[in-house]
Amino acid sequence: MPQDAEIKVLDRGFVRLVDMMGNDLSVVNAARVSFGKRKEHFEEKDKKLIQYLAKHEHTSPFRHAYVQFHIKAPIFVFRQWMKHQVGCSWNEISGRYVEFPDDEFFIPSLFRQQSKDNKQGSQGEIESEHRIAARTAYEAACRHAVDEYKKLLSLGVCREQARCILPLGLYSEVYWTSSLQAVAHFIRLRSESHSQWEIQQYAHAVRELIEKVFPASLEALLSTDVG
C-alpha cells in the first residue's frame, strides 16, 4: 500500500496512511539481532518466527515498526479511539486555533435501537414510522449548535469557549502515530462486533491500509491475544 493512500469512512471521514517505518523483515531482524544476525530478504521460515514471537508474547520486535495516519472522524469516535495510548502518539486539530466549518458533523445513514441485553450497545434499526422524525431532530440539533457557535464567535466570544457547545458528532482531525503492536491491538478490539459500528469502520480501514505492508506480522498479532 503506497504512502498517502486513503480510504473514505462514514459520510465525511477518512483514514490516510501518511508514513511508515519498517515491514515484516524489520520485525524479523529486530528479533534476530539477539543472535548477532541480520537478513536482507524475507523468507517463509521468517513467517514462522513471527508467529512464534506473537504466540509467546515476545512483542518488542513488533514495536520497531511504526505507522502514521491522518484521520478525520467524529469526536465520539475519537473519544473511544484515544483510549489506545500505549505505543501511540496523538495530535489533534485545535478549536482554540481554528474555527470549525458550518456543516462538518456526522449524519448517520440509519438510526439504531438501544440493545435490550447490552447497556452500551445497539441493535437493528428504529421503527420505520420514526425514522424521518429522528433524522430531522438529529440534524436540527447539530445545525442549531453550529449556528449558535457561529453566533458566539460573531459576538466576540473566544474560540476556546464557543467550541464548548459543539456536538459530539462534529468531525475532527488527528495525526496518529503508533507501533505495529499497538495498531494490531486497536484493530483487534475495535473490529469486534460489540464495538460501536462507526469505529468498526475505521478499524477496518486501518487494517486495509497496512496489511499489505505487514501481512505476516499483522496476521500473527491478530490471531494471538497480545495486548
Is residue 59 in a domain?
A: yes
Mean pLDDT of 219-225: 85
Counting residues of the chain whose pLDDT is more than 70, the rounded percentage is 97
227 has pLDDT over 70: no
Residue 103 lies in a domain: no
pLDDT, tens digit, for every residue of 13-68? Answer: 999 999 999 999 999 999 999 888 898 998 889 999 999 999 999 999 999 999 99
70 and 149 part of one domain: no
pLDDT tens per residue across span 72-109: 999 999 999 999 988 899 999 999 999 988 889 999 99
Catalytic residue among 16, 188, 190, 207: 190
181/83 same-domain check: yes
Q: Does residue 197 sit within a domain?
A: yes
- Return contacts of 25-34, CB within 8 angstroms, 24+ apart: 26/64, 26/65, 27/53, 27/61, 27/62, 27/64, 27/65, 27/180, 27/214, 27/216, 27/217, 28/61, 30/60, 30/61, 30/64, 31/58, 31/61
pLDDT of 225 reads 59
Would residue 112 show up in a list of annotated catalytic residues for this protein? Answer: no
Domain residues for 139?
A: 112-165
Question: Do residue 26 and residue 89 come from a single domain?
Answer: yes
The pLDDT mean for the chain works out to 92
Asked whether residue 145 falls in the same domain as residue 185, the answer is: no
Residue 226 has pLDDT above 60, yes or no: no
Question: What is the tally of structural domains in the chain?
Answer: 2
Residue 39 in domain: yes
- Is the residue at 117 inside a domain? yes
**Does residue 101 lie within any of the structural domains?**
no
